[in-house]
Amino acid sequence: MPEFKLAKRVTSIQPSPSTAAAARARELKAAGRDIVDMTVGEPDFDTPDIIKDAGIAAIHDGKTKYTAVNGILELRQAIAGRMQRHTGIDYPLEQITVGGGGKQIIFLALMASIDNNDEVIIPAPYWVSYPDMVVANEGKPVIVACPEEDGFKLRPEALEAAITPKTRWLILNTPSNPTGAVYTADELKALGKVLERHPHVLVLTDEIYDEIWFGEGRLLSLVEAVPHLKDRVFVVNGVSKSYAMTGWRLGYGVGPLPLVNAINKLQSQISSCPSSISQAAAAAALDGNQRFVTESCAAYRRRRDIAVERLNAVPGLSCLAPDGAFYIFVNCAGAIGKGTADGEYRIRNDLDFVLYLLDSGVAAIHGAAYGLSPYFRLSIATSEDLIREACKRISAACAALQ
């Protein structure tokens, strides 16, 4: 059989580390291993009935045909309403695009806007897919380390130093995956002052976790903090995390009309339109009773508190309490250089540590996958009992190191 030559855009990127880790955990469990899977960034709650009923009604009503490339009118109206409530900004419907998940929207935005070696600034720790999405679209990721002492957040001076004439985008994720870091109004405004000096830089703000935050009131969006920059800001969001709708695959983007038009053009050639059923369900989610959002966020906060208390009690580990999302980014520097008495394990880095935890019955993701070591990420989008069990196993594993 002749060799099949793959395109550089495929050979230059890696499979998603989080997807690969979750798949490995599933394989081990299927083989009979007792594994507490803390890898998956997916709510363990079921999609609320009111949302499922809207999808079922769409099927029964025959709403199973192609829709407009950028989504049904009802959904775009619901998105515009939510944007107004959350940012105070009225966006015209033509500045809204809808796709098969926030991930697709981000990929299409980069595809539509970067050329060979255009630079995209990505604060680290970052969601695992950002750099590979940039590379797949022939851009150059510019990784800016945001250490724990800075709350894992991008500082204005670091942003300033990273910008060059080739910079096309800054990607900002708040609340953050993997750290749960949330930018305050003053921090967003400080970044905005830097951006004012560099009008060629666009901002993609990934706000997929904006309903899952543990502060008071409403989480501030970049476009609300610096509204005079809104024509350079592309807001990405979706229904996967806030409404437990990961499998429905529905995300959206709101921002500059030329970019939205370009995304719609690409989508017309790639998928024609998002699922009509998912769109109907998403409209019901955004416009409906928000009790589920409030209650699930409260549950995530309880889970966070349980995990942070127990993990910080483990010698060699430490973690900040995240301000949002449903992840804990744990510092494992105290375990590096140690090993088991039998010599089977020697912990040289956070990947070694995560592999050791897997053998101890806990599946996690190493910090290097997110651009910062030595850390590991745990998802707390699971039950309190499983969180307690995972922390118990992690504590035992660390106690066995010397």
Domain that holds residue 113: 63-287
Phi, psi angles (nearest 5°) of residue 114:
-115, 145
Burial group, residue 367, by CB count within 10 angstroms (0-12, 13-18, 19+) = buried
- Give dist(CA 99, CA 329) in Å, integer: 29
Low-confidence ranges of the chain (pLDDT < 50): none
- Find out whether 181 and 153 touch, Cβ atoms under 8 Å: yes
* 202 belongs to a structural domain: yes
Q: Residue 6, SS3?
A: coil
Residues 14 and 90 in one domain: no
* 265 belongs to a structural domain: yes
* 2 belongs to a structural domain: no
Segment 250-293, tens digit of pLDDT: 999 999 999 999 999 999 999 999 999 999 999 999 999 999 99
Residues 277 and 360 in one domain: no
Residues 16 and 123 in one domain: no
* 156 belongs to a structural domain: yes
The domain that contains 394 carries what CATH number?
3.90.1150.10
Q: Supply 12's token pair.
A: 């230059």
Residues 270 and 327 in one domain: no
* 310 belongs to a structural domain: yes
The domain that contains 248 carries what CATH number?
3.40.640.10
Q: Supply 93's token pair.
A: 């419907």
Segment 42-82, tens digit of pLDDT: 999 999 999 999 999 999 999 999 999 999 999 999 999 99
* 342 belongs to a structural domain: yes
pTM value? 0.95
Residues 103 and 222 in one domain: yes
Please say which residue of 253, 287, 321 terminates a domain: 287
Instruction: Tell me how many domains the chain contains.
Output: 2
Residues 67 and 132 in one domain: yes
* 56 belongs to a structural domain: no
Mean pLDDT of the chain: 95
Please say which residue of 227, 262, 287 terminates a domain: 287
Q: Supply 340's token pair.
A: 């088991």
The rounded radius of gyration (Å) of the Cα atoms in the chain is 21
- Give dist(CA 331, CA 318) in Å, integer: 5
Residues 39 and 160 in one domain: no
pLDDT of residue 146: 98
Residues 150 and 244 in one domain: yes
pLDDT of residue 155: 98
- Give dist(CA 123, CA 119) in Å, integer: 13
pLDDT of residue 13: 85
Residues 395 and 324 in one domain: yes
Please say which residue of 287, 308, 327 terminates a domain: 287
pLDDT of residue 106: 98
* 53 belongs to a structural domain: no
Residues 207 and 146 in one domain: yes
Residues 158 and 192 in one domain: yes
pLDDT of residue 26: 82
Residues 220 and 109 in one domain: yes
User: Could you tell me the end-to-end alpha-carbon distance of the chain, in angstroms, rounded to an integer?
Assistant: 51
